[in-house]
Structure formats: structure tokens, C-alpha cells
Amino acid sequence: MDTVQKVMSGFSLDLGPLKEPLGFIRVLEWVFTIFAFATTGGYSGTTHFTVTCTGSQVVHDVKPAFAYPFRLSAYPYKIPTCNGSGFNVTYLQGDFSSSAEFFVCVGVFGFLYCTATLILYLGYQNIYRQTTRGPVIDLVVTAAFAFLWLVSSSAWGKGLTDVKWATNPHHLVEQCPDICKVEEFPSMGRLHASVIFGFLNLILWAGNCWFIYKETPFHKDPSPPATMEEGGAPGP
């Protein structure tokens, strides 16, 4: 209880750091991190094609649906057999959940870290700059997140390419027993945006390393030139 009281007593809200690159870029990271994982998690899409059996005028709509985390083999859809025996249950192919979940995980943990450091910057700035430990840890963690954004965004970009191929109706109609017609492609704009946000986060987190580095003891300010008093009187 005493520890909590000490922490709360040390809190002093100061919005000044938001005017500096260190705080302003952290706010941008917080926003773009939310965009990155929100555009991926919760996504659901549908692809659409029709099947018309030979000698029949009946058009069957086939709408395979899929969603995050893109374990496509878990999503069945029905295709008419066109031989009077009803429908065949078919599944989408592929499991791309690892890259999608890794990307979302990096986004969620990045969001939590941004929230924690913003509280530190705005409420405990004196504690943050009192010792060298805070800026050094901040630099290491920020650099680690920059690397994770590079890896996760690249992996998810490749995973998205595979998802697009596996849900492309032109690919799916290859399994059709009769006359098939592509009707609608799944909307992928939201997923394309997620990859863009991922690489934007890479730029933000990597760029922010420089401003955090300036807060560490590793960054040496240039020494001011010696004054007449410091350097002594000039010789004759």
C-alpha cells in the first residue's frame, strides 16, 4: 500500500513531452499500432461464384466465407454435384494463422508498451530522466519492436498473398463439376491497409530510436567552446 502511495505521489501530469519528438512520435506509434492490429483481427470476407449444371437452368450460388485468423481449412462450403445426388462439402485450402496471429500479437503488445511509456513520459518524466536506466531500457525495447514490426509485417504480407490466392474465385472454380462463373472477389482493402500500417510502424519505431538514444548516456553532447575566462587571458 505504501508503495502504491509513493508511486501516486510521484505522478505529475506534464503535457510538455508531447511537443517533443520523443512524446509526439510515441503517440503516432500508439495510433498506428491500433490501426495495424484492428484491421487484421476481426476481419471476415466472402468469395462468390455460381455453378450451373449442364441441361439445367438453375444457378447455384456458392459463397465460401472465411475470417481471421485465416485457418481456411476450417471453413466448409457446398458445391452441387450436378448428378442428382445433392452437394459435396468442400473446404478452403491453407492455414495462414501463424503469420496473422504473430502480426496481431506484435500490435497488441506494441499498443500496451506505448500506453505504459506515455504514462511514464507524461506523469513521471522526472523519474524517467533521473537515472540512465529508463532511457536505455526504452531504447532497447523500442529497437526490439522495430525489428518485430519488420519480421511480422513481412510475414503477414506473404501470408496475405497466400490468402488472396486461396480465396480467389478463379482458383476455386477449378473444382467445379460443370459451368462455373466468377461473381465476386473478396474485399481485401482492409487487409492491404493492415500491411501498410505494419510497415509504417516499422518506420516510426525505428525512427524513434534516435530520439530515445539522445536521452541515453551513450549520446554525447558537443562540448561548448572555451570562454575567455575558462581559457585564460590571451598571450601577448
The per-residue pLDDT for range 173-194, each reduced to its tens digit, is 877 767 788 888 899 999 999 9
Q: Which of 6-10, 42-46, 65-69 has the lowest mean pLDDT?
A: 6-10
Tell me the average pLDDT across 133-150: 93
Pinpoint the alpha helices (H) of 11-132: 21-40, 97-123, 125-130
Instruction: Check residue 71 and give its pLDDT.
Output: 93
Distance of alpha carbon 117 from alpha carbon 40, whole angstroms: 24
Q: Report residue 53 CA to chain centroid gap.
A: 44
Helix (H) or strand (E) holding 190: helix 189-213
The Cα–Cα gap between 113 and 142 comes to 9
Indicate the domain borders of the chain. 2-214
**Average pLDDT of the residues in 224-234:** 47
pLDDT at 100 over 90: yes
- CA-CA distance, 84 to 82, in Å (whole number)? 6
Instruction: Among 58-62, 109-113, 116-120, 208-212, name the one with the lowest average pLDDT.
Output: 58-62
Cα–Cα distance, 81 to 178 (Å, whole number):
9
Q: Which residues contact 203 (CB under 8 A, 6 or more apart)?
A: none
Query: Is pLDDT above 70 for 158?
Result: yes
Residue 233 has pLDDT above 70, yes or no: no
- pTM score of the predicted model: 0.83
- What angle is formed at CA 38 by the lines to CA 30 and CA 184, rounded to 5 degrees? 145
* CA 149 to the chain's CA centroid: 7
| 9 band by pLDDT with thresholds 50, 70 and 90 | low
pLDDT beyond 50 at 3 = no
DSSP state of 177: S
The letter for the amino acid at 223 is S
Using the predicted structure, report yes or no on whether residue 132 has a pLDDT greater than 70: yes
Mean pLDDT of the region 1-10: 47
